[in-house]
């Protein structure tokens, strides 16, 4: 069966898109931190995307993606009413959520969407959640309204100062850690350099820090080994052991190297797809 796109919205024109997909079986079991593997067509690759939200009653899941390569560009040609060939999930270990006190959720880029689902889970568990979101400028911020609807404190950082604090999310985080009596946990989701920087900030405070790794994945069920990462000196698989790990134990240098491993092939694939679209008038 196909998975119908019930809603498509460009959050940032030409860059970031949100889709609401009909997937009742996945929505029924999805929890914060879970992801899905999607395939557009029979000959397409499978890619992982963290579930940004789900509605069990409506039987839908929400995904947000950055148009950065051939597959996401192909996804962006689909319109409302169109279908994905495959959507497999929910996959991965869900976020460990318990009532613990104050939790700071930090999001950057499309990671804000995944962080939104986790922040909501912490609020529902009775935790006090402080959300920090960052982007280069105001027009690139995501999910401000959605987070504000359930999170009493949303702090913003922009590189150019067009909204909130002028600077990085880590600067806002450090201020919170210095002024709050006790922070039980920091959750960071976004670009790898941002997550690594968050871990450097929290380490001197001894604050538990959870990160969600966006490793390269092929099957999402632990068979291929493509998503392997080193955590605490051990080789683990992001798809079945994660995607969330103790940020202070992650080998970020190795992760960054692996993420760039197929950069050349990805660029060639995107170039061929662009030429194909031009020939077909898309």
Q: Examine residue 166 and state whether it is found in any structural domain, yes or no.
A: yes
My answer on whether 41 and 112 are in the same domain is no
Q: Examine residue 177 and state whether it is found in any structural domain, yes or no.
A: yes
Q: Examine residue 278 and state whether it is found in any structural domain, yes or no.
A: no
Q: What span, in angstroms and rounded, lies between the C-alpha atoms of 20 and 4?
A: 9
Q: Give the tokens for residue 171.
A: 């600067």
The SS3 assignment for 44 reads coil
Q: What span, in angstroms and rounded, lies between the C-alpha atoms of 164 and 19?
A: 28
Dihedral class, residue 126 (left if φ above 0, else alpha if ψ from -120 to 50, else beta): left
Cα-based distances in Å from 55 to 28, 52, 61, 124, 140:
8, 11, 6, 15, 26
Q: What span, in angstroms and rounded, lies between the C-alpha atoms of 193 and 197?
A: 6
Q: What span, in angstroms and rounded, lies between the C-alpha atoms of 90 and 281?
A: 36
Q: What span, in angstroms and rounded, lies between the C-alpha atoms of 60 and 25?
A: 9
Crossing angle of helices 252-259 and 192-202, rounded to 10°: 180
My answer on whether 149 and 73 are in the same domain is no
My answer on whether 11 and 46 are in the same domain is yes
My answer on whether 85 and 108 are in the same domain is no
Cα-based distances in Å from 280 to 40, 41, 58, 79, 209:
18, 17, 36, 17, 48
pLDDT of 145: 93
My answer on whether 48 and 85 are in the same domain is yes
Domain coverage including residue 82? 3-91
Task: Identify the sign of the CA torsion 217, 219, 224, 225.
Answer: positive
Q: Examine residue 243 and state whether it is found in any structural domain, yes or no.
A: no
Q: What span, in angstroms and rounded, lies between the C-alpha atoms of 22 and 37?
A: 15
Q: What is the CATH number of the domain that holds 56?
A: 2.40.30.10
My answer on whether 119 and 181 are in the same domain is yes
227 is in an annotated binding site: yes
pLDDT of 1: 59
Provide the number of structural domains found in the chain. Answer: 2
Q: Examine residue 217 and state whether it is found in any structural domain, yes or no.
A: no
pLDDT of 70: 87
Choose one of 132, 166, 190: the last residue of a domain: 190
My answer on whether 9 and 49 are in the same domain is yes
Give the DSSP per-residue string, 197-249.
HHHHHHGGGT--EEEE-----SSSSSSS-TTEEEETTEEEEHHHH-SEEEGGG
Q: Examine residue 146 and state whether it is found in any structural domain, yes or no.
A: yes
pLDDT of 17: 96
Q: 90 preceded by cis ω (within 30°)?
A: yes
Residue pair 141/109 in contact by the 8 Å Cβ criterion: no
My answer on whether 76 and 136 are in the same domain is no
Q: Examine residue 31 and state whether it is found in any structural domain, yes or no.
A: yes
Q: Examine residue 249 and state whether it is found in any structural domain, yes or no.
A: no
Q: What is the CATH number of the domain that holds 170?
A: 3.40.50.80
pTM, two decimals, is 0.90
pLDDT of 278: 56
Q: What is the pLDDT along the chain (282 residues), one digit of tens a residue?
A: 579 999 999 999 888 999 999 999 999 999 999 999 999 988 888 999 999 999 999 999 999 999 888 889 999 999 999 999 999 999 999 999 999 999 999 999 899 999 999 999 999 999 999 999 999 999 999 999 999 999 989 999 999 999 999 999 999 999 999 999 899 999 999 999 999 999 999 999 999 999 999 888 888 888 888 899 999 999 999 999 999 999 999 999 999 988 877 677 676 776 776 766 656 655
Choose one of 57, 91, 125: the last residue of a domain: 91
Choose one of 190, 206, 239: the last residue of a domain: 190
């Amino acid at each position: 069966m196909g998975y119908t796109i019930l809603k498509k919205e460009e959050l940032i024109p030409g860059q970031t898109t949100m889709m609401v997909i009909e997937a009742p079986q996945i929505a029924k079991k999805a929890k914060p931190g879970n992801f899905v593997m999607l395939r557009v067509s029979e000959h397409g690759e499978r890619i992982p995307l963290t579930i940004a939200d789900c509605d069990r009653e409506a039987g839908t899941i929400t995904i947000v993606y950055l148009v950065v390569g051939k597959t996401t560009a192909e996804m962006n040609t689909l319109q409302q009413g169109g279908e994905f060939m495959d959507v497999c999930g929910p996959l991965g270990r869900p976020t460990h959520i318990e009532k613990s006190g104050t939790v700071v959720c930090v999001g950057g880029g499309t990671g804000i969407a995944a962080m939104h689902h986790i922040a909501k889970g912490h609020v529902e568990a009775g935790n006090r959640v402080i959300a920090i979101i960052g982007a280069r400028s105001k027009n690139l911020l995501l999910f401000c309204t959605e987070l504000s609807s359930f999170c009493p404190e949303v702090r913003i950082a922009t590189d150019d100062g067009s909204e909130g604090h002028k600077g990085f999310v880590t600067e806002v985080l450090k201020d919170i850690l210095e002024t709050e009596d006790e922070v039980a946990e920091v959750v960071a989701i976004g670009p790898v350099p941002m997550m690594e920087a968050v871990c450097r900030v929290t380490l001197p405070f001894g604050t538990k820090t959870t990160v969600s790794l966006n490793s390269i994945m092929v099957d999402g069920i632990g068979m291929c080994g493509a998503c392997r990462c080193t955590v605490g000196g051990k080789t683990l698989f992001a798809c079945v052991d994660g995607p969330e790990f103790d940020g202070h134990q992650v080998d970020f240098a190795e992760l960054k190297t692996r993420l760039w491993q197929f950069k050349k092939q990805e660029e060639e694939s995107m170039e061929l797809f662009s030429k194909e679209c031009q020939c077909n008038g898309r």
